[in-house]
Amino acid sequence: MTPAITLTDVVVAYRRLPAVHHVSGAFEPGTLTAIAGPNGAGKSTLMKAIMGLMPLSSGRIDTAHVSPRQFAYLPQAPEIDRSFPVSVLQTVMFGAWQRTGAFRTISKVDRECARACIANVGLDGYEHAPIAALSTGQWQRTLFARLILQDARVILLDEPFASLDERTTDELMALVHGWHKDGRSVIAVLHDITFIRQHFPQTLLLARERVAWGPTAETLSQDNLIKAKAMTDRWARDGERAPQHHHDHTGHAHA
Amino acid sequence: MSAYYDLLVSPFMDFEFMRRALVACFALSLGAGPIGVFLVLRRMSLMGDAIGHAVLPGVAIGYLLSGLSVWAMSLGGVVAGLVVALLAGATARTTGMKEDASLAGFYLASLALGVLIVSAAGSSVDLLHILFGSILAVDDEGLFLVVSVGTLSMLLMAAIFRPLALECFDPIFARAVGAGGGWAYAIFMGLVVLNLVAAFQALGTLMAVGLMMLPALAARFWSENLGTIIVTATIFAMVASLTGLLVSFHVELASGPSIVMTAAAIYIGSIILGTRSGLLARLLRRPHYHDPKEARR
């Protein structure tokens, strides 16, 4: 099987400090993968790199058959200006961008699709509510409706359930399972280990470097979790000093 | 009845310069209304002010080369404004510094250069004319320029509306879906410069910023819908133009500042009376909605 997204020795750095350090591996097509790891492990950075929103310092990311247009991305919640004067329906409609583009007319069918997506996330009746008036949960549902309308093959979610209650989390997770059943690849950054064990067949455990990657039960072993914590602790303790290297390279500077 | 006629209509019936001034201001309102709204939404409310200053060296050079020619001064202003806007944008993009910071750096340099050129040429009266304008001096060429820019602005803003709105609302999503609003934003910046320069003869570049920003800021207090906000801002700009011109005519005050002061009055009125987040609306608690459909206005 051809891997959908292959990472080869990926390094991503902020101001020369690597946030993702020599990570290699592959997200197989149609898999449901969690990215776990402590704070500062580079989880969100890796997602941005896959979306092409962050330049790589070195290494490569191949998306074999999947065109960049087939990727959908949900950033962490606070990244959007909620005071912007648009309604739920208008926000969701942007999910049809691949069809409407910058200039094409939005057809009645597109609008009906958007309404269906809004109903799908349990927000019917809220189509014309301004987004400033929504609760955290309703806002996240709105963004999920936009994801549904995008109809992407690969869906990346960055902390999609942070600060959501149980009911909202369950309903949105059911949508994620639905995407998985459709054969889409879903990659989600998550913190809750118990939740990952419950819902995600595959896990990538990250601590700047790849700690483990594979079936969740094996990846999230006690040993690996302790290892991940130790690796990030080492970075925190040593400040800006680099971790031990198993090889020489000159791709980027380690202060 | 005839008292109202004397007050509101006869100034425009009797004096050609008043008619020209009104048409010029209405044309400016059509472009400045929507542009101001997007500047506010982009959190760049002070950018118009910066660009308004940045055009000075270009206008001054145009003036030195061909005297009080509308076209030479406008062309110079547009070039200087675009150079500053592009340099600021490019610096922000390549260095990761905030856009307002790099804009501040470049416009201050540009303004100093402009003052230097004007003072080296030896006349300060013309500098005042450039920055504050005089509506009574709008000639055929100036009117033609303003109306062209107003028309172009409306058409272009309508064309780039969707990518520009997405770029301002959710730039990460815009990049992720490949909508890269970069070109839409570049056109938008061009329109900001063009509108401020077109206004220099009528209102003066600095007063034109007032006609651009104050109605947009005021409109934000009346609606939660982008389309409605834009229409409201445009209407506010037109009302301010009409009222300001009449006030300046009857009380014999400078026209540009009168128009902007009227816009400021509308803004302050909106702060107090605005239905969305105005002070009165906060004081007089109205019953909350029981169905989300009620919030759709």
- Which domain, by its residues, includes A137? 81-152
Prediction ipTM score: 0.82
A128 falls within a domain: yes
**Domains in chain B, ordered, with CATH?**
2-204 (1.10.3470.10)
Model confidence pLDDT, tens digit, residues A25-54: 888 888 999 999 888 888 899 999 988 888
Same domain as A210, residue A165: yes
| Whether residues A164 and A245 fall in one domain | yes
Q: Answer yes or no: do A219 and A237 share one domain.
A: yes
CB contact under 8 A, B291 and A125: yes
Per the domain annotation, does A76 fall within a domain?
no
> Do A96 and A20 belong to one domain?
no
CA distance B261 to chain A (A): 27
Whether residue A161 is found in the same domain as residue A214: yes
Q: Are residues A195 and A134 in the same domain?
A: no
Nearest-CA residue of chain B relative to A130? Answer: B224
Same domain assignment for residues A170 and A249: yes
Q: Is there a domain that residue A173 lies in?
A: yes
Question: Does residue A165 sit in the same domain as residue A248?
Answer: yes
pLDDT per position as a tens digit, A212-224: 898 998 888 888 8
Nearest to B170 among A71, A80, A132 (CB): A80
Q: Is the pLDDT of residue A207 over 70?
A: yes
Which of chain A's residues have a Cβ under 8 Å away from the Cβ of B291? Answer: 125
Q: List pLDDT tens digits, range B283-297.
A: 776 666 766 666 554
Give the pLDDT mean for B65-69: 78
Beta-carbon contacts below 8 Å between A and B: 76
Determine, yes or no, domain membership for A72: no
Instruction: Break chain A down into helix, strand, coil percent, rounded to 5.
Output: 40, 25, 35
Q: What φ, ψ does residue B135 adopt, rounded to 5°?
A: -65, -25
- In the sheet where A71-74 sits, what is the strand order? A71-74, A154-158, A185-189, A32-36, A202-207, A209-215
pTM: 0.85
Q: pLDDT-based confidence at B270, cuts 50/70/90?
A: very high
Give residue-wise pLDDT tens across range B3-40: 888 888 888 888 888 898 899 999 999 999 999 999 99
Q: How many residues does chain B have?
A: 297
Q: How far apart are CA B95 and CA B90, in angstroms?
A: 8
B3 reaches A (C-beta below 8 A)? no
Q: Is any Cβ of chain B less than 8 angstroms from the Cβ of A69?
A: yes
Instruction: Quote the number of domains for chain A.
Output: 2
Note whether A135 contacts B: Cβ–Cβ < 8 A: no
- Chain A: closest CA distance from residue B294 (Å): 8
Residues A102 and A160 grouped into a single domain: no
Is residue A171 located within the same domain as residue A52? yes
A76 touches chain B (CB under 8 A): no
Short-list A138, A145, A214, A152, CA closest to A183:
A152
Q: For residue A240, name the pLDDT band (cuts at 50, 70, 90).
A: very low
Order of strands, sheet of A17-27, starting from the edge strand that comes earlier in the sequence:
A17-27, A5-14, A58-62
Domain match, A41 and A26 both:
yes
DSSP A244: P
User: What was the pLDDT predicted at A105?
Assistant: 82
Q: What is the structure's pLDDT at A242?
A: 47
Q: In the structure encoding, which two tokens stand for residue A35, read together? A: 């990215």
Tokens representing A227?
């290892």
What is the arithmetic mean of pLDDT over A165-179? 93
